[in-house]
Structure 1
Amino acid sequence: MLVQNSLSEVLQAREELFSKTKWTDPTSQLQNRVKGEELSRYFLLTDSERIGIEETIRLLVSTTPYYLSLSDPSDPNCPIRRMIVPTADEAVFSLEESPDPLEEERLSPVRGLTHMYPNRVLLFSNHSCSVYCRHCMRGRKVSSSDERMEKSDLESAFDYIKNHPQIEDVVVSGGDPLNLADNRLEWILKELNEIPHVKICRLGTRNPVTLPFRITENICNIIEKYNDDNLSIFCNTQFNHPKECTKEAKEAILRLLKVGVSVGNQAVLLKGINDDEETMLTLHKKLLEMRVRAYYLYDPELIPGSRGFRTPLARGIEIVEYMRGKIGGMGIPHFVNDLPGGGGKITIGANWYLGYFPKTRQHAFRSAVTKKIHFSFEPIGSDKESYYPTISEEEWERMKQT
């Protein structure tokens, strides 16, 4: 039974938590993580949140004191709070949902390795994260001790990669690989560095957002050691809201950049958190200030208990359309849907291209800046005219008048 404290008690509990945590020490942050049954000490919970905490069908609840400090204890609509605290929506398993909508397990030739694309694999290196985000698409595995990857499991994954020379790119994910001990992370990078046909390693980590102090000097030295002529190491993280773009987060990003690691952002479009144009534009402007390039904006996955986060597909298209012309191209993410059934990612763009009018050999485009229609010619002798969607006579005349 969750006992609700008063606002003054909540604020006092927060102050006590923050003061007993060695703030810049990642170990202390992890040791003082707040679990589900403790949330009533740090938030004025709604009835929906109480149900979510007690009846969630998703992963465990946990947050670092640092990430908790970014949240509002009294506002249930606080975007950070929404990513920390379950709601009643998490207690509902809808008919369209699946624990593994991308069929990663079907595409897993050995434990912890997903081979969906011919030349790329995803390595599930770790079941643990600093914060268990409520929208996590891998909630069937993350936070479960049954999914712990032993050294023997990782060795089997490396053997598979070694025996498949077409694999050039390994995404090291989880969980969060930067929650591994330093020596385990170094061993993984060393193994990948020594496989001749593996040229790219991408670290998928949310620690720059949820525990920036984990990006230590030693971690950076390890990454720099194996980021060489044999292996190019990249980092993809996940900032979802401008409130996450803190001074501490920027310092963590700069530490990675200084050892030659390019950092990209993979945001998730989340209902009530970032599903409006100005929030997403502000987020990506702040990310560019932090020297983080936009990479993906994900349409939410059909995972159990996720109905509270999912948005209409059109929302992502509208947001990316709105951003064009208001920020440099490197600040605009690709809106992607990771297709259910293991179909892989597809990009979904705004409809700037309107079609082709064969009589005049002209293409019609809608400008992101002026919103007017502009025209351009197809080369004489082109054999690609049948490739384009054709504009009718009536539609062509209408376009010419605008």
Structure 2
Amino acid sequence: MEEIVKKEGVLGLESPEQERMNLYSSLDWKDYKSQLRNRVRSQDLHKYFHLTESEKLGIQDTIRLNVGATPYYLSLSDPNDENCPIRKIIVPRQEEAFFSPEEAMDPLHEEDLSPVKGLTHMYPDRVLLFSNHECSVYCRHCMRGRKVSDSSERMESEDLERCFEYIRDHSEISDVVISGGDPLNLSDAKLDWILENLERIPHIKICRLGTRNPVTLPMRITDELCKIIESHNTDRLSIFCNTQFNHEKECTTEAKEAILKLLKAGVSIGNQSVILKGINDDGESMLRLHRKLLEMRIRAYYMYDPELIPGSRGFRTPLAKGIQIIEYMRGKIAGMGIPQFVNDLPGGGGKITLSPNWYLGFHRDSRNHVFRSAVRGTYHLSPEPVGSEYDDFYPSLDLETWEKIRENLYSVTRGLRLEEEGF
């Protein structure tokens, strides 16, 4: 019997829980290079999860990017629960096998806005530098899946030199977002070289590192890396970091330690979450996440509407969801914990922000703006300044709404009825 048990183990017939223990014990857990060498690939997923039929089809037929997950990030997932939010980010599902009519490989037209390989120039004063095609985890919702995990998209030093040359030749550019892939998957030396080149360009004042490694590989944030970043975070170049936590399960002790190291290197950190169906697409989930982020000293930045990328129907949510989430969060957490809800417009239109309709309109007879309170749901007046020439700029409050709420309006004279104020 003992020989049969050993044989089954060799054949990979142990439980996902046991297979995970075997994996975790086989590497140096705190060494990020060991984590990367032992990333879980598509052919390994059956060992670490009790896969559903949808997942099996997704793994077999996905039209998205390759599968890859660090043992650390795998450890945050549930091998038995198909609705585990981290599992959904790691494991492809059947929806990934379909290229729907509304989807496109490059919905934001980044390639059309690329003057040289690896550089997107959408906004006049800033560019996005695609520094690296690799990530520690290949998230199934990745908006740049056409490039990420594809070795043909590798950025060689010559490619990066051409990017630097373009930036040097365009003095209107003051802000460079280093993205990918994940720039922190580059070697320390390569990242040092990139930052040094940017710091030497006089008109570059801002550098933003777009990285998910604090979430997926927090041990990558080493003391050595932080020293390199700090050495370039000078009066000539201000370095920021935008990361992407999407669920409270990602807010671990290890992640917080990584964030604190970056903060001590003088790097301001913001979070860009993505609304993902069945993962965080409700107000309470986003509220819990952003409360955790504030505890970690991360400020909310953006909350993205999912992009129209191939195989993404399983993640996309109605536009109204984002507005409802922001409405739910307002009044329950400090403003620095509430992200801007953003739609990155298909066709290269850039980002726009969307929010609940707190502003009902302008009552022209009394020259008052009418607002709905996010905290209490009550209605409030705020007068337009005397002598203002902007009355025609504001949308008029419709008469029906005015008649419905006029008896319950609040103004600076708290709680007085409209008639008592002479309206």
TM-score above 0.5: yes
| 2:393 counterpart (387, 396, 401) | 387
Matches within 5 A, 1:131-142: 131-142=137-148
Matched AA of 1:16: N
Match of 2:164 in 1: 158
Matched AA of 1:130: S
Matched AA of 1:269: I
Q: % of aligned pairs identical?
A: 67
CA separation in 1, counterparts of 2:336 and 2:397? 32
CA separation in 2, counterparts of 1:161 and 1:188? 12
User: What are the Cα deviations for residues 273-294 of structure 1, in whole angstroms up to 9, with x where unaligned?
Assistant: 0001111000000000000000
- 1:83 and 2:71 matched: no
Q: Which runs of 5+ in 2 are unaligned?
A: 1-10, 409-423
2:332 is paired with a residue whose SS is coil
Match of 1:264 in 2: 270
- 1:338 and 2:352 matched: no
User: What are the Cα deviations for residues 35-63 of structure 1, in whole angstroms up to 9, with x where unaligned?
Assistant: 00110000000000000001000000000
Match of 1:185 in 2: 191
Q: How far is the alpha carbon of 1:393 from its aligned partner?
A: 2.7
- 1:30 and 2:16 matched: no
Q: Highest Rg: 1 or 2?
A: 2
- 1:372 and 2:378 matched: yes
Q: How far is the alpha carbon of 1:139 from its aligned partner?
A: 0.1
Match of 1:293 in 2: 299
1:63 is paired with a residue whose SS is coil
Q: How far is the alpha carbon of 1:10 from its aligned partner?
A: 1.1
Matched AA of 1:370: R
User: What are the Cα deviations for residues 10-46 of structure 1, in whole angstroms up to 9, with x where unaligned?
Assistant: 1111000000121110000000000001100000000
Match of 2:66 in 1: 60
Matches within 5 A, 1:195-206: 195-206=201-212
CA separation in 1, counterparts of 2:353 and 2:172? 24
Match of 2:135 in 1: 129
User: What are the Cα deviations for residues 339-368 of structure 1, in whole angstroms up to 9, with x where unaligned?
Assistant: 000000000011111100111000000001
CA separation in 1, counterparts of 2:318 and 2:292? 25
Matched AA of 1:330: M
Q: How far is the alpha carbon of 1:5 from its aligned partner?
A: 7.0
Matched AA of 1:358: R
CA separation in 1, counterparts of 2:29 and 2:401? 62
CA RMSD of aligned residues (A): 0.9
- 1:39 and 2:58 matched: no
Matched AA of 1:166: E
- 1:18 and 2:8 matched: no
Match of 2:251 in 1: 245
Matches within 5 A, 1:248-327: 248-327=254-333
- 1:227 and 2:239 matched: no
Match of 1:215 in 2: 221
User: What are the Cα deviations for residues 253-298 of structure 1, in whole angstroms up to 9, with x where unaligned?
Assistant: 0000001000100000000000011110000000000000000000
* TM-score normalised per structure 2: 0.93
CA separation in 2, counterparts of 1:285 and 1:181? 33
| 2:367 counterpart (361, 364, 367) | 361
2:15 is paired with a residue whose SS is helix
2:306 is paired with a residue whose SS is coil
Q: How far is the alpha carbon of 1:401 from its aligned partner?
A: 2.6
- 1:170 and 2:190 matched: no
Q: How far is the alpha carbon of 1:397 from its aligned partner?
A: 1.7
Matched AA of 2:392: S
Q: Which runs of 5+ in 1 are unaligned?
A: none
Matched AA of 1:188: I
* TM-score normalised per structure 1: 0.98
CA separation in 1, counterparts of 2:158 and 2:346? 30
Matched AA of 1:233: I
Asked whether the equivalents of residues 5 and 40 of structure 1 are also in contact (C-alpha less than 8 Å), the reply is no
Q: How far is the alpha carbon of 1:392 from its aligned partner?
A: 2.5
Match of 2:4 in 1: none
CA separation in 1, counterparts of 2:288 and 2:12? 35
Asked whether the equivalents of residues 21 and 65 of structure 1 are also in contact (C-alpha less than 8 Å), the reply is no
CA separation in 2, counterparts of 1:394 and 1:380? 26
Q: How far is the alpha carbon of 1:394 from its aligned partner?
A: 2.9
Matched AA of 1:79: P
Matched AA of 2:58: G
Asked whether the equivalents of residues 337 and 348 of structure 1 are also in contact (C-alpha less than 8 Å), the reply is yes
| 2:77 counterpart (67, 71, 74) | 71
CA separation in 2, counterparts of 1:152 and 1:351? 49
Stretch of structure 1 that moved more, 11-20 or 385-394: 385-394
1:62 is paired with a residue whose SS is coil
Q: How far is the alpha carbon of 1:396 from its aligned partner?
A: 1.3
Q: How far is the alpha carbon of 1:234 from its aligned partner?
A: 0.2
**Runs of 4+ in structure 1 over 3 Å off:** none
Match of 2:414 in 1: none
1:359 is paired with a residue whose SS is coil
1:153 is paired with a residue whose SS is helix
Q: How far is the alpha carbon of 1:387 from its aligned partner?
A: 1.1
